[in-house]
Each structure stands twice: as C-alpha cells, then as structure tokens.
Structure 1
Amino acid sequence: MRLLLLGGTKFVGRAVAEEAVARGWEVTALNRGTQPAPEGVTVLRGDRTAEGGLAALATGEWDAVVDTWSWAPAAVRDSARLLRDRVGHYAYVSSCSVYAYPKAPAADESARVVEGSPDAVGEVPYAEAKRGAELALEAEFGGRALLARAGLIIGPYENIGRLPWWLSRIARGGPVLAPGPRDLPLQYVDARDLARWMLDATTARLGGAYNVVSPAGHATTESLLEACVRATGSDAELCWTDPERIVAAGVEPWTELPIWVAPGELYDYLHNTSVARAVADGLRCRPVTETVEDTWAWLRSIGGSAPQRADRPNVGLDPEREAELLKGLQGLQGLPG
C-alpha cells in the first residue's frame, strides 16, 4: 500500500505512520517539518494554511490518504480536490465532537450533528471545523471517504496532557483527589488502536461515519487510576470523593481533573457513545493497563514532561488547590480509598 499522511508526526499521525511502516507500507507524509518523522517515512514539506502549501502534492498517486487536520475545513477541501483523481481512499480523523449537545445516551452515528461549512477559513470552533471537513471530504470523495469520529484519544506521544497529567500527579505520591464514582465507565481510544483500525478500514475501503472509541465499560475511573499507581510504583493514596462534592467545590471536570466528568448530560456526551458499527468492522482496544504502562514508559524516556499543543489549554489541578480541597474534605464521608 502507498499511503499519504497529511499531518502526522506528533500524536495520532505518528501512530498511523508507525503502524503503516510496520506493515511494510510505503508512507509519505506532508507537513511543515517542525517535528522529525518516524523512521521509514518519506517527508514532503508543505503548509496547508499557506498559498501554494500543497505544491509538493502536485504529482503522484497513492492508494490511500489519512488526514489528521483539526483546523479550518478549507484545508481538507483543498487537499481532497487536489487528490480526488489520484487517490483511491481518503480517511479523515474526525471527532465525536461533531454531534450536537446534548445527545442521547448510547447514541450512534445517526445522532444530530452541528452545522459546518467546507469553505470555512481562519479560526473555526473545533466541532464546526471537524464537521466542515467531513462535508468537504464527502463532497469530493463520496463513498470513498471514511470519517473516523474518534472520542477521547490517549496513549504514548499524547500532546494534550490528560493521561500524562494523571501519571505525573500519581508519580509524585501522597494523597490524590480521585473523582468518584470509582466504577464510572470511561470511553477512550488508544491512538495506536485508532491507527490500526483506520488502516484496516482503509484496506477494506470502508466509507461513511464511524464512532471510534472503546466500548462502554472497557475501563472505569478506578481501573485507570489504579493502573497509574501500579505503573508508576508510587505510594499515592487515591482519596475517592463523591462527584457532588467535587462539583460543589468548583473543580472543572475534564480540564482540572482530566478525562473525568460527573454523571449527567456532559458525561453522556463524552463517555456514552455507541461503537457497535466500528466493533462490527474490527475495532479492538487494548487493556487500559497496557495504554497506561506504555504512556508512562514514553514519559520517562523524554524526561517526564509531555509536549503540549499550543492550541490547547494546559490541564490538571494545581497542587496547592488540590491540597486545599483534600484538607476541606477531611472528615467528610467520601468513597473509601
């Protein structure tokens, strides 16, 4: 297979490149060259936001494209138009954020989506950007377009900081504010499992929208945080606390306590999505312990400080604020640690 990767040297794109190279595919990546590409990848230079930024793709043919673009949809529109007659299949890393909020629990790909424009340029809200890119791709490739609507993505090379924050925090040890309920099911996808499924789907020429995230109950808050304790080997004490008390204390779910949200509408939106279609077409997710251990090993290999995307806010609870919250919760009946 001859694969063209648009983007692709940091997180999800890196996972796709490494998986494709491991399969013996010929991999070409178009990007700005700000990060080194995985070994075995041929790199073309181009900035999709600049005039003439696709010049390096003026010639050439590929069996498939994987596109990880997250900004203005016009960039996906332009690349799809340019490649339409020289590429057999186009897979786009979209997002479950394209669904309108709120959405019904366990909703599938038929759920209502946000509005989007394939011609939008400049600063576009994330959900509208992803939806606009989907529309652009469908217009040019039709049934040859795969829309992989990923949920929360974690794993080695994560540059958002969610799982790296939990690992770093737990590695410090001591009492850790652990948000309950401890058996709350989580949905996420390891970037490597997303990459593997997308390349399998590309080989099979699957088209249309797929929710690509782990089945409900694949992991829980407890199994995730306990895996962090074991992986880091720290003396951390998980202080399980009722979600109502955490919310009442003004803690921001998803950002100050990454990955976690209290049960309710936001939880259903982020952690309660049907993935029956993707599972039927081969999605398999590795155990949470493997994702956690491999992410911790990667963090240690780069000195413990994860890279951070400039367009995303830092996540995690300030240590002093966490200490104050834990002190205030002393004597209150939370969930036993």
Structure 2
Amino acid sequence: MTRLLILGGTEFVGRAMAEAAVGRGWDVTVFHRGRYEPPAGTVSLLGDRTGRDGPPVPATGSWDAVVDTWSAAPSVVREAARELAGRVGRYVYVSSRSVYAWPAAAGLTEDGPLVAGSPDAGDGVPYGEAKRGGELAAVGAFGADRALLVRAGLILGPYENIGRLPWWLNRIARGGPVLAPGPRELPIQFIDVRDLAEWTLDAIAAERSGPYDLVCPPGHATMGELLDACVRATGADGTAADARLCWTPPEAVLAAGVAPWTELPVWMPPGESHDAMHTSDVSKAVAAGLRCRPVAETVADTWAWLTEIGGTAPHRPDRPAVGLSAERETAVLATAPAAVPVTNPGGR
C-alpha cells in the first residue's frame, strides 16, 4: 500500500488529492492547521508550515511520497523538504505555469525560459518567483530524480477557493443579461482539480520526476462552452431560467475598462496574454497519461458542490476577490452596442 503525506490536504487541490488517494486504497496522512475537517479516511496530524503555531512538518513517520501545494515563501518548502528528505521517497511539488518568464510564448513546453527564483526567499516575493523557488527547494533536497514538479495552469472544479468558476456560476444563477466576453469560440485551457489529482497519483505510482505542465490539451474547451455549461447547470432547477449570455467583442470589453482574468475570471482577450495563459503544449503530460473530463462535467459538479454548501465558496485570504460588480456589468452592457444576446443553451 502506498503511503502518502499531504502537507495541507483539507482545501481545494490538497483535498482533491487526499480524496483520490483514499479512493485508491492508499494510506493517506494530512498535515494541516485544523481549520477545516480532514477528508474521510485520512490520518490527521496538526501543525503549522511556518512553525509559529505548531511543528512545520510531522516529527516522525515515513512515506513513499509527499505532496506540497505551498505558494508563499519558498524557504518554507526548503525547510520541509530538508526535514523530510530522509523519510520520504519522492517530493511532489504542485507548482504553476507562472514559473515561466512572462509572457509565455504560444505553444510553450516545459523547456521554456523560467523566472528567477530562490529556495531561500521569504514572504513577499511575486507568485511566479515563489513557485520557482519552491521548485528549486524540492529539487535541492530530493535531487532531480526524486522531485516531481507539477506545473498546473488554471485549476477549476469542486472545492475551488479562488472564486473563478464559482463567480460565473453564481452570476449566471442570478439570471438576466450576462456580460459574456468574446469571442465565443475563444479557446481556454484549465485542469479539473480531480484530473490534476488523478494524474499526480499516477505519476507517483510510476515514479516520475521533473517538470510537467498540467492543463487540458488545446482545443479541449472554449469560453462559449464554459459559459453555456454554466447556464445549463444553474438553469436545470429553474434558478437561471432567464439568464441570457450577451456576447460582447473583446474590444468593447477592454474599452469599458474591464480587467480580464480578475473582473471576468478565466477570460483573456485574444493576443499575447491569451496565448500565454491558454495555449500550453501539454503533450508531455498527455504521453504520461493525462485525461481530462468534459468542461460540462467540471461545471455541473462545481455547481452541485456550491449548492450543497449554500452557494458561497470558501476564499483564500491571500488572494484578491474576483468578479465584476452588478453595477459595472449593467453599465458595460448599456454602452456596448455590439453585445449579442444569446438564448439559453438547450432551449431554456
């Protein structure tokens, strides 16, 4: 039986990883601060990665692999990796495609140029540099042959604590005309958190190492397919029966001063930034077994989870809120004459 330690394991990526591993019959230990209930079937150990309110890693025990999702000070990853190097077989660091020098070229692979990073850096470094420093810390303690670097892109799905897909779902659930940033056929790349978890566990079992970019392959989904799925999911119970997607040219959205990615989550207008975010070459991960579920399944399952918890998703305090205010949306729709209302998918 594979023994897995997850540093965290009670939120979003860590929770999905823990549940998937338990589902495989693995022996799973989650090391967390006690703010949320640990997933069923796991061994729960309490601590604090920073060492302020508890030990930074478990004091005893050995595991076949450890999964670390830390995204702040790289020095925290460094200390954990050093402490666990003699007690864990493989260090899996869930990194980010933000480690690539911006703007990442269209079709970039794992060989692309990287940002600077240091495993010794403390708090306050930019996100990409923090993730790169975490990568260097993992490799420094475990070596290139025992460190797996999972460079995830946009992560969506149940348990999301950033707010991107939950915002779209809740906005469309309110109904009425919805500012839909075009073009409708604009390709997007993301990874369902559960597909991320399953691929990572497969990679642990196969003893993989080195960097892998992890998002769905190009052509897997479009902005139109994502928002159509939101309308179908929220309209199934009549909640968004009158929701109308108003597809608005990107030029009109930008001219209104709307911020891509933050005010309209997921969306980047065509051009350099879109290519950097949504055109990654993931052939290496696909060759290593990456399988991605349909976007409609990700959306429907996220809505089911949101409904179950009362509609308000948890939000990480270290990330800014996302989404466009109702007042701003109304103003943009009123001044964007090219906006095209589209009836609900499926005839609703």
| 1:225-272 deviations in Å (ceiling 9; x for gaps) | 000000011221000010011011100000110000101111111111
User: Pairwise mapping of residues 302-321 of structure 1 onto structure 2 (< 5 A)?
Assistant: 302-321=309-328
Q: SS in structure 2 opposite 1:295?
A: helix
How has the CA–CA distance of structure 1 residues 162 and 263 changed in structure 2, closer, same or farther, with 3 Å as cutoff?
same
Kindly indicate whether the alpha-carbon contact (under 8 Å) linking 1:105 and 1:272 is maintained by their aligned counterparts in 2: yes
> 1:2 matched to which residue of 2?
3
Q: SS in structure 1 opposite 2:165?
A: helix
Shift, 1:48, TM fit: 1.2
Q: SS in structure 2 opposite 1:57?
A: coil
| 1:41-99 deviations in Å (ceiling 9; x for gaps) | 11111111125844662221101111111110111111111111211111110000000
Distance in 2 (CA, whole Å) between partners of 1:298 and 1:204 is 31
> 2:257 matched to which residue of 1?
250
User: Pairwise mapping of residues 1-337 of structure 1 onto structure 2 (< 5 A)?
Assistant: 1-50=2-51, 53-54=54-55, 57-142=58-143, 143-233=145-235, 234=240, 235-329=242-336, 332-335=337-340, 337=342
Runs in 1 of length 4+ with deviation above 6 angstroms? none
Distance in 1 (CA, whole Å) between partners of 2:134 and 2:57 is 21
Q: Count residues in correspondence.
A: 335
- Give the alignment's TM-score, normalised by structure 1: 0.97
Distance in 2 (CA, whole Å) between partners of 1:108 and 1:253 is 24
Distance in 1 (CA, whole Å) between partners of 2:68 and 2:218 is 27
Kindly indicate whether the alpha-carbon contact (under 8 Å) linking 1:26 and 1:41 is maintained by their aligned counterparts in 2: yes
Unaligned runs of 5+ in 1: none
Q: SS in structure 2 opposite 1:192?
A: helix
Q: Percent identity?
A: 63
Kindly indicate whether the alpha-carbon contact (under 8 Å) linking 1:214 and 1:285 is maintained by their aligned counterparts in 2: yes
Distance in 2 (CA, whole Å) between partners of 1:296 and 1:50 is 36
- Give the alignment's TM-score, normalised by structure 2: 0.94
| 1:289-308 deviations in Å (ceiling 9; x for gaps) | 10000000000001111111
Distance in 1 (CA, whole Å) between partners of 2:127 and 2:207 is 27
Q: SS in structure 2 opposite 1:40?
A: coil
Distance in 2 (CA, whole Å) between partners of 1:247 and 1:165 is 20
Unaligned runs of 5+ in 2: 343-348
- RMSD of aligned alpha carbons: 1.2
State the AA in 1 paired with 2:32: N
Kindly indicate whether the alpha-carbon contact (under 8 Å) linking 1:44 and 1:56 is maintained by their aligned counterparts in 2: no
